[in-house]
Amino acid sequence: MTSVIVAVPEARARGLADELEMERITVVSVVPPNRVLPLPEGVDAAIVVATRAVLTSELVAECDRAGVRIIPLGDSDSRLLGRYGLTTALPADANGWEVAAALTADIPHITGHEASPPHRVTVVWGPSGAPGRSTIAIQLAVELTRTGRRAALVDADTVAPSLALLLGLSDDAPGIAAACRRAELGALDSAELTRLATILATSAGEIEVLGGINRPGRWPELGASRLQTTLRACRSWAEETVVDVASAFDADDEATYDLAGPRRHAATVAALQEADAIIAVASADPLGISRFVREHAELRRLTAPTPITVVVNRVRPGPLGIDARGQIRRTLERFAGITDIAFLPFDQRAADSALLHARPMADLTPRSTLVAGVRRIAETYSSATSHTSTGGSSRGSSRGARRLLRAREARGA
């Protein structure tokens, strides 16, 4: 049974506690909103008022250490919740059953014959101009690992491969080129992929990395059929395969006379066409948005009906004025018909730290607004295949939620 602490105004506290008890949730204590700490022993979740006075870094850090989930109530600035990577707040007058549903929202429905979530290949693409493809690919793999999925990173960029350099790994490792050669011979399986990959230890867990080619001149090694066969093998190897690709398509190559020869950008097209999902990254400046709009139609033509998640990176008021998000929304809707957009803020300190130490941002600046933004994308993105969330954290599954899952499995056994 889940145990909670209720820290809301007195006028609502006792009624909410009674309603939670009716939902078979144990209320360990009822305290004033500003008296959450110290946390009672054995509590699984804290129901608190979503205000800056209550949601402090000390409270969130203590809940993280204790594996206590935070359920915020009331109207709050979304930036406050985003800063700590918390979910959207429930209404201040939320009923007990609504709070109970939020507590168990990350418990998957278990049946005796339910299949495990499917494995997936996700390609991170963006137009020329360095919109942040590699940075987002790295952070997305970290956050997908944090959800409990086994993740792999693949560098299939034939123009400027950079994952190994960004992560402090040797660019002499076999990586994707060796995997493609083995795939052409029909000798690529999960064991071989594990042998060729480099293990990256992160704060979320280990990630398998297939580094890219260490010289751009080696691009013929990543042929279209080779790469597609490799990515198909990756589906049985990792639950989430995140692929970083170059910006250009091979449309220009089709105008050449040598139609039978290898094409420089065939790897990008092959990966996009093999993908189960695509993250399309645009830079939040006039040039970046213009390039994205021009390339998006060709991307859609090549990959339809594969779902595309549009992410606008480095959002800041400077290049676009005060209402940067509004201008981007209106532009993408008018010229590309895009209405569903995820925004990532510009966080120079986190980016500089990641470059300096050659580590994922989440390891160095876990409270970064950029990290929180990618985490929200990963949580929303992964809900299509798995209902599991971050284990042992105020942002995901609590210990009580995991006990509920085990109890449900026991009842079904």
Write out pLDDT tens, residues 216-226.
789 899 999 99
Top pLDDT among 48 and 111 is at: 48
Query: Residue 395: CB partners within 8 Å, gap ≥ 6?
Result: 69, 70, 84, 85, 86, 87, 375, 389
Give CA 115 to chain center in angstroms: 23
Task: Compute the average pLDDT of residues 164-179.
Answer: 92
Instruction: Say if strands 205-210 and 198-202 run parallel, antiparallel, or are unpaired.
Output: antiparallel
Q: Give ∠ CA 145-126-221 in degrees, rounded to 5.
A: 80
Task: Compute the average pLDDT of residues 286-301.
Answer: 94
Q: Is the pTM of this model over 0.85?
A: no
pLDDT tens per residue across span 31-59 = 888 888 888 888 888 888 888 888 888 88
Looking at residue 214, what is its pLDDT?
Answer: 87
In the structure, what pLDDT confidence band is assigned to residue 77 with cuts at 50, 70 and 90? low
Top pLDDT among 359 and 379 is at: 359
Residue 364 tokens read as 């160095």
Q: Is the peptide bond before 32 cis (omega within 30 degrees of 0)?
A: no
| Least confident interval from 49-63, 192-206, 313-327, 334-348 | 49-63
pLDDT tens per residue across span 86-98 = 767 888 888 888 8
- Rounded to an integer, what distance in angstroms lies between the CA atom of residue 341 and that of residue 335? 14
Looking at residue 299, what is its pLDDT?
Answer: 94
With a pLDDT cut of 70, the percent of the chain lying above it is: 83
Contact 123, 279 (CB under 8 A): yes
In the structure, what pLDDT confidence band is assigned to residue 386 with cuts at 50, 70 and 90? very low
Contact 318, 343 (CB under 8 A): no
User: Is the fold of 3-110+393-412 the same as that of 120-382?
Assistant: yes
In the structure, what pLDDT confidence band is assigned to residue 396 with cuts at 50, 70 and 90? very low
Looking at residue 109, what is its pLDDT?
Answer: 41
Looking at residue 20, what is its pLDDT?
Answer: 86
| Least confident interval from 85-94, 222-231, 234-243, 248-257 | 248-257
- 120-382: which CATH architecture? 3-Layer(aba) Sandwich (3.40)
Is residue 395 predicted with pLDDT exceeding 50?
no
Contact 170, 200 (CB under 8 A): no
Mean pLDDT of the chain: 84
- 3-110+393-412: which CATH architecture? 3-Layer(aba) Sandwich (3.40)
- Rounded to an integer, what distance in angstroms lies between the CA atom of residue 124 and that of residue 86? 25
Looking at residue 165, what is its pLDDT?
Answer: 94
Top pLDDT among 308 and 411 is at: 308
Going from the C-alpha of 190 to that of each of 4, 86, 146, 187, the distances in angstroms are 43, 36, 22, 10
| Least confident interval from 44-58, 211-225, 227-241, 354-368 | 44-58
- Rounded to an integer, what distance in angstroms lies between the CA atom of residue 350 and that of residue 367? 9
Is residue 132 predicted with pLDDT exceeding 60?
yes
- Domain locations in the chain as residue ranges: 3-110+393-412, 120-382
Residue 258 tokens read as 């040598």
Looking at residue 10, what is its pLDDT?
Answer: 86
